Amino acid sequence: MRAHAVAQPNIALVKYWGKRDTGINLPAAGSLSLTLDSLWTRMSVELADGAESDTLSVNGAPDSTKLARVSACLDRLLGPSRPKAIVESESNFPVAAGLASSSSAFAALVMATAKAAELGGDTLSLARLAGASSGSAARSFYVGIVELTAGDREIDVRCLARAREWPLRIVIAITEHGPKRTGSGEAMTRSAATSPFYRTWLERQDGDLDAARKAVIERDFDRLADVAELNCLKMHSVMWTCRPPVVYWNGATLNAMETVRAMRRAGAPVFFTIDAGPQVKAVCLPDVCDEVTAALAATAGVKQVMVSGLGSGARLQDQC
Ligand code: PMV
């Protein structure tokens, strides 16, 4: 009745931003992401028959704010008459700060719960269950460079390339440690309801996904860089044009983007992407990783830099 799992967050290059069906959390379009290796979330789930309510602790402290979403995920997996659960989560990076913590958290939660309840199920079915709680979590079940395609009723997810096939590096410039003011779920709903650019954004997602997939298959860094930067700026343009606007960036976000843009203009194989938060993720080839790390660490307002390669999918652990 007790199981442990670990999962790594993933960073999207073609973003998931909008839902076809909010009831089952089905994405409106496909996405493409990089599963990281040096960031992780470990989840321990104990199904406790006698307990009266679920409990959640995050990094050793009780967390009531995230409990409702965790309980809803457990209901979805185990049904309404399930035993209550004692859930312990631990991460080695800031949570809810635009570092894709929900992707690793819900991937690890679903993996550990499925084991604790002896549900069985292959990787894709567990990924689909996790995707119903956090769209990006479905991608954290897969290694390396990952594509998610969105059908009318369900998603499909697959690995396009492993780390050894294309050893991309991700340098994360943290510009703010606190939690973001607007959650991605709320920002997505607001985007669909109020941004004049939302429909155009969705219409062009398939084209961006095709271009990014082709770039990955052909290991064409420049083409991947072009489509990823454009896709990121389009997603943030949709957010900026919401009513009220959703602006996750700060001054240091712009500084870090400019650091990456200047290096790219000078010929370095590096590009940026930014999720629902103020952190800048620079994706580069291994030979410029040290240079990119040093340049971002020296950028005004950047508080911390983390470096990662491509990692594996969610998996069970003997203990946490
Ligand atoms: O999976 P969610 O509900 O946390 O939304 C993820 C949204 C982005 O990180 C901004 C984009 C993405 O594809 O991961």
Q: Which atom of ligand 1 is nearest to the CA of 31?
A: 13
Closest listed residue to residue 173, CA positions, set 320, 292, 279: 279
Q: Ligand 1: which of 184, 234, 242, 274 to mutate, judged by most atoms within 8 Å of the beta carbon?
A: 184
> 320 pLDDT band (50/70/90 cuts)?
low
Q: Which atom of ligand 1 is nearest to the CA of 25?
A: 3
Q: What pLDDT, in 10s, does the model give residues 180-232?
A: 889 999 999 999 999 999 999 999 999 999 999 999 999 999 999 999 999 99
Q: What pLDDT, in 10s, does the model give residues 45-94?
A: 999 988 899 999 999 999 998 999 999 999 999 998 999 999 999 999 87
Q: What is the Å distance from ligand 1's center to 179 Cα?
A: 15
pTM: 0.96
Q: Ligand 1: which of 10, 11, 15 to mutate, judged by most atoms within 8 Å of the beta carbon?
A: 15
Q: What is the Å distance from ligand 1's center to 81 Cα?
A: 30
Domains of the chain: 2-164 (3.30.230.10), 169-308 (3.30.70.890)
Output Rg (C-alpha) for the chain, integer angstroms.
19
In angstroms, how far is CA 117 from the centroid of its own chain? 26
Q: Which atom of ligand 1 is nearest to the CA of 135?
A: 1
Confidence (pLDDT) at 2: 95
Q: Which atom of ligand 1 is nearest to the CA of 102?
A: 4
Q: Which atom of ligand 1 is nearest to the CA of 183?
A: 4
Confidence (pLDDT) at 100: 78
Name the residue at shortest CA distance from atom 8 of ligand 1. Answer: 275
> 318 pLDDT band (50/70/90 cuts)?
confident
Q: What is the Å distance from ligand 1's center to 286 Cα?
A: 26
Complete DSSP assignment for 44-64: EEEEETT-SS-EEEETTEE-S
Rounded to an integer, what distance in angstroms lies between the CA atom of residue 109 and that of residue 87?
8
Can you name the residues that pair with 6 across neighbouring β-strands? Answer: 42, 315
Tell the burial category of 181 from Cβ atoms under 10 Å away from its Cβ (0-12, 13-18, 19+).
exposed
Q: What is the Å distance from ligand 1's center to 100 Cα?
A: 7
Q: What is the Å distance from ligand 1's center to 11 Cα?
A: 8
Confidence (pLDDT) at 198: 98
Q: Which atom of ligand 1 is nearest to the CA of 134?
A: 1
Residues with CB under 6 A from ligand 1: 12, 15-17, 31, 100, 102-103, 134-136, 184-185, 275-276
Q: What pLDDT, in 10s, does the model give residues 265-298?
A: 999 999 999 999 999 999 999 999 999 999 999 9
- Residue 27 CB partners (closer than 8 Å, separation 6+): 16, 18, 19, 20, 131, 135, 148, 150, 155
Q: What is the Å distance from ligand 1's center to 136 Cα?
A: 5
Q: Which atom of ligand 1 is nearest to the CA of 98?
A: 9
Q: What is the Å distance from ligand 1's center to 48 Cα?
A: 31
